[in-house]
Amino acid sequence: MDLPVMPPVSPMLAKPVADIPAGMQYEAKWDGFRVIVFRDGDEVEIASRTTKPLTRYFPEVAGAVRAQLPRRCVVDGELVIAHDGRLHFEELLERIHPADSRVRTLAERTPASLVAFDLLALGPDALLDAPQTVRREALIGALRPARAPVYTAPATTDRELARRWFTQFEGAGLDGVVAKPLDLPYRPGERVMFKVKHARTADCVVAGYRLHKSGPVVGSLLLGLHDDSGQLQHVGVCASFPMARRRALVEELAPLRMDEAADHPWGAWTDEAAHASRRMPGGPSRWSGGKDLSWVPLRPERVCEVAYDHMEGSRFRHTVRFRRWRPDRTPESCTYAQLAEPVGYDLGELLRD
């Protein structure tokens, strides 16, 4: 491979802001795997945000890159799996599998797409120093002949349209809007763009905690919500606490500690089969990589309010942020029914645009 921009390249990043800034280019914030795609003839490399190779996990995308992208180019984009009108992040996670046969089966069953939103090189020319407007024009021209599963991300300079996108697109599984200064060169690894993400709150049952890697202090609180049948489902964790707060939480939660998990709603967490009918912490995952998944069970009697971006199926998509204790709420009142349900939006409409 011999390109004007060679791997590894860390993608340009965004910093969070409270509102959509004026005078910029706006795009949807895609919820997938951020990638830099390198193509030099038949040679293709798909690299993750951390520059790790993903090519073998997405053979259908590599094939589409050879068929649809210019012969020599470097593209910044997102790998997504979309069907039934919305994105499905969990199906992307299933692709990171050691068995090539499994990867190829999933590639046929739930094929991924590449949504391109920046162009770093084209032919013999590096475009890193070109302003955003120039790179955008070059991207549109380079990908004009492309067809599914390769898409050019819709973009606008109309701030009011971006506000509508922020509301509409959530129903398709997207999680906000990215704003890019019009004169911005491509700056790998730097947070020089801006992102506005959806922020919601939920009251959750605190049903346990994991210890911090540094010692016997709270690393993360394990959160639960009751489903329609009354079962407590594990929905995620909140983990961002100052060290002094981590130590204080151990004492604060001590009265709720259970000597063993047998009588806990998630008492069967070590039984792999039990995870088929209930979400519990410590479920089998190829992402755990031998990590210690043990946790301290608590009587599920305390409720806290957390801030979250959005849901992925029956769990929080990202680590949530602790807001406050809610002594006025009972654990039984913490159900999925409280979660805001975004109005559905057909992702196909966005990609057609």
- Looking at the annotation, which residues are catalytic? 29
H-helix or E-strand spanning residue 312: strand 311-312
Q: Which long-range contacts (CB under 8 A, 24 or more apart) does 55-61 make?
A: 56/100, 56/103, 57/95, 57/96, 57/97, 57/103, 58/95, 58/107, 58/112, 59/103, 59/104, 59/107, 60/107, 60/108, 60/111, 60/112, 60/149, 61/112, 61/113, 61/114, 61/149
| Closest C-alpha among 119, 115, 122 to residue 132 | 119
H-helix or E-strand spanning residue 116: strand 113-122
DSSP per-residue string spanning 63-90: HHHHHHS-SEEEEEEEEE-EETTEE-HH
Start-to-end CA span in the chain (Å)? 34
Give the separation between CA 334 and CA 45, rounded to whole angstroms: 45
> Residue written as tokens 């955008």?
136
> Residue written as tokens 């491979």?
1
195 near 16, Cβ under 8 Å?
yes
Instruction: Respond yes or no on whether the N-terminal peptide bond of residue 149 is cis (omega within 30° of 0).
Output: yes
Name the β-bridge partners of 36: 47, 76
Give the separation between CA 195 and CA 336, rounded to whole angstroms: 27
The neighbour count for residue 288, using CB atoms within 10 Å, is 11
Give the separation between CA 340 and CA 342, rounded to whole angstroms: 6
